[in-house]
Structure 1
């Protein structure tokens, strides 16, 4: 730009990475002074081309050595004054915890490879996640605006039926050369029993740790090298989530296809996963929240897979063999239907073809076993658990409508009125009184069950008052009539939060989940207007219908626990 094309002045041309380990994210800044306004967008295009070129393999070992040598030279040749050196020591202590970060930095630099630099560019600079500021003389704006504008095509999400058993949710977005995908399969933990709880989930996640054509170590390295985001969640259904560059998508597909059809369940990966499971269990022993959750579930879901102890659940996983995983795969990894969501740099016809490809690679056999969803009992009692922790954990549980019930939306409104930073529960325990560290309602609804749970944590001396205040809020919503204005304000507040939070990073999963529940992929857009139709009478009726029997669970410190908070 300076020497060859002579488009940029040498003065005030610099680039730097502003990276601070105590901040959540860093930034890369490029500042330059163009010789002619007409060339500004051309210069940006050249910078983009250079970044893309280097991300494809232009870095060399010599480049890294030269940078290290320059860094060493600056350190040896520079002698700061006392004030400057004191300032540097202070910043090093704040950011790195040591007075001089030079040795630590050199160690990291010496370990870098050209591959590492390429991956950093692919991850942080290839996606056009940036702001460009053109500071031009008066009248220069008109020159820039007359230049050809970049065409950015973004479509609205749409639902497409691709055959009898394939639902596609598609959104074209060419602002970045990426593809985000979510695959929803009816592979469910509801086929588990108390005797094999956790095994279907464990098996499904292990499927993607290695297959016939993809060694586990090679697979891990490829995902890291290509900055691929990939995770699997297994519950009432299985969700397979990925995000990758468009250029990497063909390979990503083949990896998934091979995992669907030819998983190998490598022994080394099984051992690693078992070790992780065991460490998680051991950590849970010193976690008050996990201890309380186990106590609650063992009573509330007694006789069900969700009601077994953490120790038993860990034992089941530790006893699994490679042969067991193959048997579980053959028995439970089947799907007679699929929901696939694709956002990114694709045409609709491509997306439809991809959806059919994915469906064709999944076994369609009938799943063996008995489908047994969670059962929510009606219990009207208080249960006390004394444990070796100081904080008091508290739950109030009620049965609630399923997502398919007509009372579902009224219960959503109740959750909205009670919840949030402006909700009744927060104001009652944190705004008016200082009774809890936190308190919130959670309405969880699936096709097969629903429950409403208030969760809170406090100190021992405030436990009884907190419980009475929380139960009092439930009684108020049963006996008093809420205003339509309160309903509308609560709904609008929730809608604002949802609208600002959900981006193309979260929307694929959220839309897939809502479509799977039968609410429709566009439920986020519809929910506000639906909830505003709920009347104060609906709220009172539903509250009185479901908030009759409360299962209350309290975990509190044993008498010999030394309290830090009196």
Structure 2
């Protein structure tokens, strides 16, 4: 066992079997939260198996060696604990929360589920049917339709092109054997980060994790290499006529990954443009011009190049003017520098929200484990705040010019309105 880093109340320890253990000591509440991260999100699926990681997350807690779905639920609920699995593009996670006295028991149960799931055929079929219903339901939501087609045209053969659910075709093809194979490939101790926050000392945390996971040895076979296609930026416009009461107008720009020097400036620009009622898009396009039912921007944190998206829901007759209005607001980012007042307000907003996102043990376990699984390290917590603080108006303008000049466009709405908007 080697301990490689201690950052104030946060400890990072690597166990002999390769598990990275993070502990955030927080003695103020008698609650312990943990997040177990695995490098096995939807990016690690084959294109033909899109939705595999999602389906695995839905059935992982529905049976393990010696325990049925009902018995697992009873064990968790009998002590008032929480235990759930989820997947994202870049990782898979198992989340748990309990009072300190029951932590060993719930972590032991989580280990059984993680190491020896049974994937009962009946549960697989049930969760597949639910996923297929969700996929069909999403086709009725114009925003989801617009975002799905935007992703597909931007990412092409890259896994980011697909929803975590996959589509009806891929979800229907996934078998129990596929789940077993994916689990055997990626669920291994040297591909695991366990992040714990709560009333626990480092010695106690190491002792518990070694007791529960210490006999789990990594297989001799190395982890598969993730070979992703190169992305080429060729902006285009895609439309889907749909009989809706509003048009969804969406612009997407191929931006960059979290480890890029430009990440902080893009995050700040996204906050300035579309985060909250005081954001530029909300004030200019909704409050002043009355164009938008909803308007916002987002730029997710990703291990690989992420999309910078601005979008608006508007009346069909305003589709064309909404499109030009969104484009004009983004163009201003690289043609006119932000004022010091606007820049500082965006910094205050993003840093304030960041601080508020680290209040509970669950949030603390999440953020440090997330940084670790993305390869950023727990020191990124402080680094991120420094990066945001150091962005100046010239930096923001340069980065906007680099990434935000030529958008992909996705339109969903009444046929005449969306077609006329791009003529």
TM-score (norm 1): 0.66
2:293 maps to which residue?
437
1:558 maps to which residue?
415
Larger radius of gyration: 1
2:151 maps to which residue?
297
- Where is the strand percentage greater, Structure 1 or Structure 2? 2
State whether residues 257 and 361 of structure 1, in contact with CA within 8 Å, keep that contact through their aligned partners in structure 2: no
**Is residue 239 of structure 1 aligned with residue 93 of structure 2?**
yes
State whether residues 417 and 424 of structure 1, in contact with CA within 8 Å, keep that contact through their aligned partners in structure 2: yes
Matches of residues 485-500 of structure 1 in structure 2 within 5 Å? 485-500=341-356
Q: Give the match's secondary structure for 1:208.
A: coil
**Is residue 185 of structure 1 aligned with residue 38 of structure 2?**
yes
CA distance in 2, matches of 1:362, 1:374: 34
State whether residues 395 and 454 of structure 1, in contact with CA within 8 Å, keep that contact through their aligned partners in structure 2: yes
Q: Give the match's secondary structure for 1:461.
A: helix
2:194 maps to which residue?
340
Change (3 A) 1:287 1:479: closer
* Aligned CA-pair RMSD: 2.8
- Offset, 1:242: 0.6
2:249 maps to which residue?
394
**Is residue 199 of structure 1 aligned with residue 55 of structure 2?**
no
State whether residues 331 and 367 of structure 1, in contact with CA within 8 Å, keep that contact through their aligned partners in structure 2: no
**Is residue 467 of structure 1 aligned with residue 323 of structure 2?**
yes
1:530 maps to which residue?
387
- Offset, 1:550: 0.9
CA distance in 1, matches of 2:49, 2:279: 41
Change (3 A) 1:190 1:374: farther
- In structure 1, the gaps of 5 or more residues are 1-154, 562-566
Q: Give the match's secondary structure for 2:61.
A: helix
Change (3 A) 1:516 1:268: same
TM-score (norm 2): 0.86
Q: Give the match's secondary structure for 2:67.
A: coil
CA distance in 2, matches of 1:161, 1:312: 36
After alignment, is 501-510 or 374-383 more displaced?
Answer: 374-383
CA distance in 2, matches of 1:300, 1:458: 23
Q: Give the match's secondary structure for 1:455.
A: strand
1:53 maps to which residue?
none
CA distance in 2, matches of 1:452, 1:520: 24
State whether residues 241 and 415 of structure 2, in contact with CA within 8 Å, keep that contact through their aligned partners in structure 1: yes
Change (3 A) 1:335 1:558: farther
CA distance in 1, matches of 2:44, 2:12: 30
CA distance in 1, matches of 2:196, 2:358: 16
State whether residues 197 and 364 of structure 2, in contact with CA within 8 Å, keep that contact through their aligned partners in structure 1: no
Change (3 A) 1:393 1:285: same
2:206 maps to which residue?
352
**Is residue 455 of structure 1 aligned with residue 307 of structure 2?**
no
Change (3 A) 1:523 1:302: closer
Structure with more contact order per residue of length (Cα contacts < 8 Å, sep ≥ 6): 2
After alignment, is 434-443 or 551-560 more displaced?
Answer: 551-560
Aligned residues: 407
Matches of residues 135-284 of structure 1 in structure 2 within 5 Å? 157-163=9-15, 165-235=18-88, 236-284=90-138
Counterpart selection for 1:410 from 251, 265, 268: 265
1:326 maps to which residue?
180
Residues 522-562 of structure 1 show CA distances to partners (whole Å, capped at 9, x for unaligned) of 5455534432212221111111111232101111123599x
